[in-house]
Amino acid sequence: MSESKIKLGDAIFASIESNKYLGELYARLLKSYGLKIYNLNQNYQSFTAKEKIDILRFADLLSKSNDPNNSDRHKIWAQEIVILMGELYGDDPVVKIYAGNVYSSVGNHKGIEHINPSHLEVSILEQIFAEYRSDYLTIPAEPGEKFFGEQKMAYDHLVDNFFSYSAPTSMGKSFIMRMFIKGEIMRGAMKNYALIVPTKALINEVRAKIITDLGGEKNTERVNYLKKHDYVVVTAASDIALEENHNFILVMTPERLLYLLIARHDMRIDYLFIDEAHKLSGKNSRAPFYYKVVDMLLQQKPRTHFVFASPNIPNPRVYLRMMTQAEADDDSALAISYSPVVQIKFFVDLQNGKIDVYNEHDISGHQRIQIANVSNGNIGLYDFLKVIESKNRELPKEQRKQSIIYYNGRDKTVKAACRFADAIESWGVRNDPLLDTLSKDIQQEVHDEYYLAKMVRQGIAYHIGYLPASIRARIEELFQAGNITVMFCTSTLLEGVNLPADNLFIMDNKIALSEMNPVDFQNLIGRVGRISFNLYGNVFFVSEKNSKVSSDDYVQMLQQDIPEQTLSISTDPKVLKRVEKSMSLRY
């Protein structure tokens, strides 16, 4: 009887996570980075020349993983290692060479641009393959840009009658949709596209990006494809342009799109893109509107193309159950677990007076590595922010580190922002003309004594739902540009707002009074470290002395798998009743 043979590569990757030497090196690397973050450099032991090479070789090996179950996890780990080594030994050319190799192996071209733009493949065969892959991943609508391999896989399926995909927050799910629409229009397609976004706060952001994609912004030398092919971007059912003869890109909440379809039941929708599709699984008031929109568009002839995009969930196929014509084949859904950016996680445990860094690759069960003891003195959140902001005051805006602080309620968010603004009031304002102008506009549009108007001149703001959309958009723009560097946020941060943060401080594990579900928790973490802006971010889970949430609570949520999703129409009787009620609406 012949024995089954195991390939050497399979054996290596199957056991690499239990490699004791790798575990020891990685734990030291995490601790060294943590000590550097907290300005405790003198307390960490440098790697020897041999150890540097060894851990970099491990990273190179991990980046080439073909393990059927853990390949993406290994590739993310490889990225973590070279990023942290770069932070500790950024001037070492050997680190840059290995970093380039790692990012090349995982197909992360953005990583190469950030960390080693001069990287060249070692062998002729590798150079040939790199050129082939570069051509294959080139974005048709943006020849100067490239997809990640996983993005390309999803992009190629958008021509299907129906498709559902999930990916980490940093993967750029909406970007894939926008590039598909742009490519279609550039080729002369005369169609109507509808993008459903979960909140009104996102409408203007997505609309602006689409207009920019298609060259419709002012003062540009790019071809204006909107004008060339007679497309109009519409965000409301009452838009007068809908009465005219154009091609349309509709950017709406499900409610707005439903109202439009009821008023204009002859409106042809060729493609429906549902972003943040996991809202169909939740117990929320918007779910019936999603279902009604899908039901109405299923009746159109020829058929509408349906595309669902959601963060992190393991079973994106679930949303295709609404498609009566959906067939159970594997090509109609794609779950992506690879992330092009990484997050380094810290526990700021002020209840027990210590700071730990989280090691998710420790198989011994001791995932927390202590970095510092903070039991002496009355240290709190603002002390950490002061350290970051004191450095920012000495840097040009393009080099500043940006921080987001998440609270679970509006009042907490505003009060925390005001307290921090008061804490650094003696530092003075930034003397930034853009911030001064925003401050004056806030006084005119909101209130002349509104405290937000004062704090923005210090480079501090908060992002909450009741602010006028124009003010929120200006705050987001100046945060992205580095004029504002500290942003206090509520759960609006979970709704897809694209803010480039280097540091995320999470002050609670709830949304309002309800504990976050695993999807929202991972979605929140994914808001730090965005591939368009940076390769990694720091997440600080803060347990304040008077807080009900502990470090153990955060650890439990980090270790919790995202469960398979179900359609809320099948699990929540109230949703079913609301759907039935909405079905009674007449065209």
pLDDT, tens only, 449-508: 578 999 999 999 998 877 887 888 889 889 988 999 999 998 876 665 677 789 999 999
- Alpha carbon separation from 414 to 229, 243, 325, 446, 529 (Å, rounded): 45, 42, 49, 15, 24
Instruction: Tell me which residue of 110, 72, 149 sits closest to 99, measured CA to CA.
Output: 110
Distance CA 482, CA 534 (A): 13
Provide the token pair at 270.
């060729």
Contacts of 60 (CB under 8 A, 6+ apart): 78, 98, 101, 102, 105
pLDDT of residue 587: 38
**Cα 259 to Cα 306: distance, rounded to the nearest angstrom:** 19
- Rounded distance, CA 586 to CA 264, Å? 11
In this prediction, the residues of the chain whose per-residue pLDDT falls under 50 are: 1-2, 328, 585-587
Integer CA distances (angstroms), 249 to 191, 243, 255, 326, 418, in order? 9, 14, 16, 25, 40
Predicted local distance difference test score (pLDDT) of residue 586: 42
CB atoms within 10 A of CB 218: 5
What is the edge-to-edge ordering of all strands in the sheet holding 271-274? 231-234, 247-252, 193-196, 271-274, 305-311, 162-167, 333-335
Q: What CATH number was assigned to the domain covering residues 344-549?
A: 3.40.50.300
The CA-atom distances, in angstroms, between 369 and each of 19, 35, 161, 565 are 18, 11, 49, 33
Check residue 545 and give its pLDDT: 85
∠ CA 112-118-123 to the nearest 5 degrees?
A: 90
**DSSP secondary-structure letter at 561?**
P
Distance CA 553, CA 550 (A): 5
The whole-number pLDDT of residue 398 equals 85
CATH code: domain 149-339+568-583 is 3.40.50.300
Residue intervals of the chain classified under CATH 3.40.50.300 are 149-339+568-583, 344-549
Which amino acid is it at 342?
V
CA-to-CA distance for 587 and 22, rounded, in angstroms?
64
* H helix and E strand count, the chain: 22, 19
Give the pLDDT of residue 63.
94
Q: Token digits for 334?
A: 């794609």
pLDDT, tens digit, for every residue of 131-172? 767 788 999 999 988 898 899 999 999 999 999 999 998 888
For residue 7, the model assigns a pLDDT of: 59
Quick one: pLDDT at residue 363? Answer: 78
Q: What is the pLDDT of residue 512?
A: 82
Task: Look at residues 45, 57, 46, 44 and name the one whose alpha carbon lies nearest to residue 94.
Answer: 57
Report the first-to-last Cα separation within the chain, whole angstroms: 70
Residue 158 to residue 146: CA distance in whole angstroms: 17
